[in-house]
A and B are shown apart, each in its own frame.
Chain A
Amino acid sequence: MTQNREGRSSGMSFGSLARRPEAGSLVGLVLVYTFFAIMGGAVFVGAPGWSSWLNIAAEVGIVALPVGLLMIAGELDISVGSVIPASQMTAAIISGHFGLPILLGIGCGLGVGLLVGYINGLLVTRTTIPSLIITIGTMFGVMGLTLGFAVLIAGSTSVFLVPTPLTKLVLGTFLGGMFNVSIFWWIAFAIVIYFLLHFSPLGNWIFALGGDRDSARNAGIPTRGLTIWLYMLSGFAAAFVGILQLMTYQNAQVATGQSFIFNSIMCVVIGGVILTGGSGSVIGIVIGTATFAIVNQGIFFSGLDPNIGSIIIGALLLAAVLSNDGFRALALKYSTKKG
Chain B
Amino acid sequence: MSANAPILALRNVNKSFGPIDVLHDINLEVRAGEVLCLLGDNGAGKSTLIRILSGVHQPTTGAIEMDGGQVSFPNPRAAADKGIATVHQFGGTFPLMSIGRSFFVGVEPTKGWGPFKVYDRKKANAIAVKAVQDFGITRIDDGDRLVGGLSGGERQSLAIARAVHFGARVLILDEPTAALGVKQAAHVLRIVNEAKRRGLAVIFITHQVMHAMAVGDHFAVLIRGAVAADFKKGEKSREQITDLMAGGETMADLEKSIDGYMSTHGGHPPPPAH
Q: Which residues of A contact B (CB under 8 A)?
A: 1, 5, 8, 195, 199-201, 203-205, 207-208, 211-212, 214-221, 274, 278-279, 328, 331-336, 339
Contacts and interface: CB of A to CB of B under 8 A. Distances in A.
B92 A212 contact: yes
B179 interface: no
Given A201-B108, A208-B106, A215 B119 contact: no
Contacts of A220: 76-77, 80, 106-107
B105 A208 contact: yes
A201 B96 contact: no
B252 to A, nearest CB: 40
Interface string B130-150: 000000001101100110111
Given A199-B118, A220-B106, A331-B146, A207 B101 contact: yes
Contacts of A1: 138, 141
* B interface bracket (residues with beta carbon within 8 Å of A): 20 to 34
B105 A200 contact: no
Contacts of A214: 88, 92
B149 A332 contact: yes
Contacts of B141: 1, 5
B96 A333 contact: no
A201 B54 CA distance: 24
Interface of B: 54, 56, 76-77, 80, 86, 88, 92-97, 101-102, 104-108, 110, 117-119, 138-139, 141-142, 145-146, 148-151
A274 B96 contact: yes
Contacts of B110: 201
A207 B97 contact: yes
Contacts, number: 98
A336 B106 contact: no
Contacts of A204: 97, 101, 104-105, 108, 119
B106 A278 contact: no
11 contacts: A8-B142, A199-B118, A203-B119, A204-B105, A208-B94, A214-B88, A216-B94, A217-B76, A218-B92, A220-B106, A278-B97
B106 A205 contact: yes
A208 B104 CA distance: 10
Nearest to A334: B149
B149 A336 contact: yes
Contact of B96 (A8, A216, A328, A339): A328
A335 B119 contact: no
A334 B142 CA distance: 12
A199 B96 CA distance: 17
Contact of A221 (B54, B105, B145): B105
B105 A205 contact: yes
A332 B95 CA distance: 8
Nearest to A208: B105
Contacts of A279: 96
B106 A335 contact: no
Contact of B106 (A212, A221, A328, A339): A221
Given A200-B118, A335-B150, A219 B145 contact: no
Contacts of B106: 205, 208, 216, 219-221
A334 B98 CA distance: 12
B145 A335 contact: yes
A336 B150 CA distance: 6
B96 A211 contact: yes
B96 A215 contact: no
Given A334-B145, A335-B146, A200 B117 contact: yes
A195 B80 CA distance: 29
A216 B94 CA distance: 9
Contact of A215 (B93, B101, B117, B150): B93
Contacts of B139: 339
A153 B96 CA distance: 50
A204 B110 CA distance: 12
Contacts of A203: 119
A292 to B, nearest CB: 24
B188 to A, nearest CB: 18
A278 B94 contact: yes
The 10 closest A-B pairs by CB, nearest first: A335-B149, A211-B94, A201-B108, A219-B106, A199-B118, A215-B92, A279-B96, A335-B145, A220-B106, A220-B77
